Structure 1
Amino acid sequence: MNNWIDRALLDAVAALARKAGDAIMQVYARDFEVSLKQDDSPLTEADQAAHRIIAAGLAGLIPQLPILSEEDIESFEGADDQGRYWLVDPLDGTKEFIKRNGDFSVNIALIEQGEPVLGVVYAPVNEVLWMAARGLGAMRIDADGEKRLQVREHQPGQPWHLLRSRSHPSPDMQAWIDRLEQHDEVQLESVGSSLKFCRIAEGTADIYPRLGPTSLWDTAAAHAVLTEAGGAVIRFDGSALSYGDTSELLNPWFIAHGRGEIDWSGF
């Protein structure tokens, strides 16, 4: 049952994301050092500061649930007996943060039985927040206030507005785009971090295929937002992208898309 997931919980998680974003921006405003993790991905003090804020805040929420954070994988011992856990990327888009192009976000998701049932994505440079929870819908909050989100439905004959990663080009991805362009016109746009999901949830883009590595924490929060806005995130076999197996931290290839029955089996 998800009756314990309410607007108060969603607002509490959103407040944590904003607080982490403030810490990130303090580092963003000055010089900072960059180190490399064992997998050669970059790490900054902003990642670590945001992680500490989020982990402490989530630990104070009721019920207390296990936390899987990109910056503290070792402490995670698995979901609780109801399959629930917090899935966190304290700074999604560290490469974009280092490049200072603004395309990075704070991602916090609640997973239940493999599904993202609550998600908050906060872009601290523009102070824009996207959030959603099962049964509550998806919202964008910015200086103009709160707006409910709904994906758009791609119309036959119209170009596909396709989003791709800004920092992770892929030959497989380009080959997939080439096949799509044999059928329809495609408008390409490069966007960093999980903001691509949010753009589709807002109805300003149609599709984001990912034919390359991503981790569970990269996608879960924005996945929740897109789902509540009427979209979906599917694997290439047509099944829903799941977060139930935390023994494997990498996602399979997937497609995030807006409304409508879409058969991508030919691609």
Structure 2
Amino acid sequence: MAETMLEKLKEIAFEAGGVILSMYERRDYKTAEKKDDSPVTTADLVASELIEDRLKQSFPDIPVISEESEHQDYNERRQWRAYFIIDPIDGTQEFISRSGDFAVNIAYVENNEPVIGVIFWPVGETLYYARKGAGAFKQKENEKQSISVRKFSDPQADPIIIAISRQQAREPVFNRLQTKRDIQPLPTGSCSLKACFIAEGKADCFLRLGPTGEWDTAASQVIVGEAGGRIVNENFEPITYNRTVSLLNPNFLVLGDQNVPWEEVFIARQARFR
């Protein structure tokens, strides 16, 4: 069942990515602002509707949470044993700025834990995916390969590659570093692509400061975890799913090689209650 579901989620992500890419290349979309002042495009909405429709066709008994749809009341959500959570375009600002660094995120959550994650990067024609206990993979065209985080020769001293946003100021992130080790920035786009780059060893870590939702991390959490890394809040505690009224995340860290003493690299800060 799990493998069949994974294949269907890959298929849906690829289809949605194709529609998004077509709108992106033709510049056939409009842009607006949501109530929280974050951007949204007609491509986000089209992709969200497509993904939700495909999921409901294939898995009619499993509810769906989308960033771009009205969210169910927590009194209803808290009863769910399983659900899908999606971000039709993770990196909408990157889509608008035309950097190409945006992705489709689809995750399946069971007993409040993401267990299947699929992330499709349309411009890069690359699919990242994982199922809990079965490893993490990267697929481009017909070539599939297992991926894992970069292993340090010396976890105590080797230079660290930090994935960092092109759209946000670097200073708040670098102010949270407390190490004299060489830090090498890797500018890139959406949260999920940063996480995938860590999962495949192109970068070692990522600190996200600012508002995100559980749809931003659910698929990444499976992929990064199966690749040997982890995602935690800024106090190095696990990220939770559907356990509070709010679906917003705290600030979080995506960390690669677990032999690195990450708590000596980043300044821990008590996470705010949601």
| CA distance in structure 2 between the aligned counterparts of 1:263 and 1:27, rounded to whole angstroms | 40
- Equivalent pair of 1:113/1:244 in contact (CA under 8 Å): no
After superposition, the CA RMSD in angstroms is: 1.9
Cα distance, 1:68 vs structure 2: 0.7
Of 18-27 and 148-157, the range deviating more from structure 2: 148-157
Q: Does 1:185 align with 2:182?
A: yes
Structure 1 position 12 matched with structure 2 position 8 = yes
User: Shift of the alpha carbon at 1:222?
Assistant: 1.4
8 Å contact kept, 1:105–1:123: yes
Give 1:105 shift. 0.2
Contact 1:67 1:76 in 2 (8 A): no
Partner of 1:199, secondary structure, is helix
User: Could you tell me how far 1:139 is from its partner in structure 2?
Assistant: 0.6
CA distance in 1, matches of 2:140, 2:10: 12
Contact 1:199 1:205 survives alignment (8 Å): yes
* Pairing partner for 1:28 from 21, 24, 38: 24
CA deviations over 1:113-135 (Å, ceiling 9, x no partner): 22211100000112100000112
Once residues 144 and 26 of structure 1 are traced to their aligned partners in structure 2, the CA distance between those partners, rounded to angstroms, is 21
The gaps in structure 2 that reach 5 residues or longer are 268-274
Q: Secondary structure at the match of 2:207?
A: strand
User: What amino acid does structure 2 have at the position aligned with 1:57?
Assistant: R
In the other structure, the counterpart of 1:83 is: 81
Q: Give, in angstroms, the shift of residue 141 of structure 1.
A: 0.3
- Does residue 264 of structure 1 match 2:260? no
Q: Structure 2 vs 1, CA of residues 52 and 246 (structure 1 numbering), >3 Å: closer, same or farther?
A: farther
Quote the residue 1:95 is aligned against. 93
Counterpart residue type for residue 88 of structure 1? I
Q: Which residues of 2 match residues 37-56 of structure 1 at below 5 A?
A: 37-56=34-53
Q: Residue 110 of structure 1 corresponds to which residue in structure 2?
A: 108
**Aligned position for 1:168:** 168
Alpha-carbon displacement from aligned partner over 1:145-183 (angstroms, at most 9, x marks no partner) = 000111122333211001112223364323113x33xx2
TM-score (norm 2): 0.88
Which residue identity is paired with 2:37? D
Which amino acid in the other structure matches residue 145 of structure 1? E
Distance 1:158 1:54 in 2: 42
Q: Which residue of 2 aligns with 1:127?
A: 125
Q: Secondary structure at the match of 1:29?
A: helix
Q: Which moved more, 1:60-69 or 1:140-149?
A: 60-69
Give the alignment partner of residue 61 of structure 2, picking from 56, 64, 82.
64
Alpha carbons of structure 1 residues 71 and 246: separation in structure 2 relative to 1, 3 Å = farther
Determine helix, strand or coil for the equivalent of 2:71: helix
Q: Tell me, yes or no, if the aligned pair for 1:58 and 1:64 is still in contact at 8 Å.
A: no
CA distance in 1 between counterparts of 2:52 and 2:9 reads 11
Superposed CA deviations along residues 220-249 of structure 1, whole A, max 9, x for unmatched, are: 111211011111011233221111325212
Q: CA deviation at 1:53?
A: 1.0
Whether the 8 Å CA contact 2:78–2:242 is kept in 1: the answer is no
Q: Report the AA paired with residue 167 of structure 1.
A: Q
Conservation of the 8 A alpha-carbon contact between 1:48 and 1:71: yes
Q: Write the distance in 2 (CA, Å) between the matches of 1:233 and 1:247.
A: 21
Tell me which amino acid in the other structure corresponds to 1:8: T
Alignment identity in percent?
A: 36
Counterpart Cα distance in 1 of 2:121 and 2:31: 21
Aligned-pair CA distance for 1:137: 1.2
TM-score by length of 1: 0.90
User: Once the 2 structures are TM-superposed, how far is the Cα of residue 211 of structure 1 from its aligned partner?
Assistant: 2.4
Gaps in structure 1 of 5+ consecutive residues: none
